Amino acid sequence: MPLDTGLYRCALTHKSISGETASSTSFNNERLEYLGDAILSAVIADYLFSEYPECNEGFLTKMRSKIVSRQNLNDIAIKMGFDKLVILPDRAVQVKKHIYGNALEAFIGAIFTDMGFSKAKQFIIGKILIPYFDLDQLECEDSDFKSQIIQWGQKNKKEVSFESYEMFADQNTQPVFAATIHIMDSIAGKGMGSTKKEAQQHAARQALQNLPC
C-alpha cells in the first residue's frame, strides 16, 4: 500500500500547473520523472542481462532502447489510463502524448521514493514489461539479422550461406521451418520459425552472437 499519497499526486501533476498558485511552484512531476527514468532504465537493463546471458552489450543496449522508447512509453501510459489521471490546467486543450509517458516515469519515481527499489521493480516488470512486450517479437523488429551476417561475411571475405527446409506441421497444421547458416564450411547458427524468413532470422541472430568481437 502507498505510504505517501502526495507523492503520486505530484507524479501526475504536469509542470504547467506550477504557475497556477504560488504555493504549487515546486509541486510537479519533473523531478520524479528524472528519477523514474533512471529506475526504469536500470530495471530493464538488469532484466535483459538475466534473460540474455549470451548476448553482447550492443544487443542489450538496442533492446533496452526499444523498450524505453518515448513512443512505447507514451502508448503504454495511455493504455494504462494515465491520460485520464494527469493533472493539467483547465485551459489545456491540445496535449502532447509525451506528457503521459513522462507521467508514467514520474509514477515509477514516486513508487521508488515511497516504497523502495523492490516495489518499483515489481511494478515495472509486472505492469509494464510482461503485459506490453513480447521480447522475441521485439528482437526481430527493425533487426535484419540476415543482412547483418551477410554484410559481415562480405567485409571479412567469408562465404555465408543459408539452408532452409520444412520440418513438420504443428497441431494446427501450420508448417514449421528450420534453417541453418553456414560460414565457410561450418554451421554457425540454427533457427526455427513459422516461415523460412523467420527461421533464417533466428539462425542469423545466433550466428551473430557467436562471431568473434
pLDDT (tens digit per residue) in 107-147: 999 999 999 999 999 999 999 999 999 998 887 665 678 88
Residue with cell 562465404: 159
Which pLDDT value is given to residue 197?
A: 84
Residues 110 and 184 in one domain: no
37 in catalytic set: yes
Is 0.85 surpassed by the pTM of this model?
no
Assigned domain for 76 exists: yes
Point out the catalytic residue in the list 33, 105, 114, 139: 105
Structural domain harbouring 173: 145-210
105 in catalytic set: yes
Residues 47 and 120 in one domain: yes
CA-CA-CA-CA torsion sign (142, 148, 150, 151): positive
Residues 194 and 112 in one domain: no
Q: Which residue has the higher pLDDT, 73 or 3?
A: 73
Which pLDDT value is given to residue 212?
A: 66
135, 164, 191 — which closes off a domain? 135
CATH number of the structural domain spanning residue 199: 3.30.160.20
Residues 179 and 83 in one domain: no
Assigned domain for 140 exists: no
Residues 110 and 158 in one domain: no
Determine contact, residues 139/205, Cβ cutoff 8 Å.
Answer: yes
Number of H helices, E strands in the chain: 10, 3
Point out the catalytic residue in the list 33, 37, 114, 139: 37
CATH number of the structural domain spanning residue 126: 1.10.1520.10
Number of structural domains found in the chain = 2
pLDDT (tens digit per residue) in 182-207: 998 889 999 888 788 888 888 988 88
Residue 204 CA to residue 167 CA, distance in Å, equals 18
Residue with cell 541453418: 180
pLDDT (tens digit per residue) in 16-56: 765 544 344 467 899 999 999 999 999 999 999 999 988 88
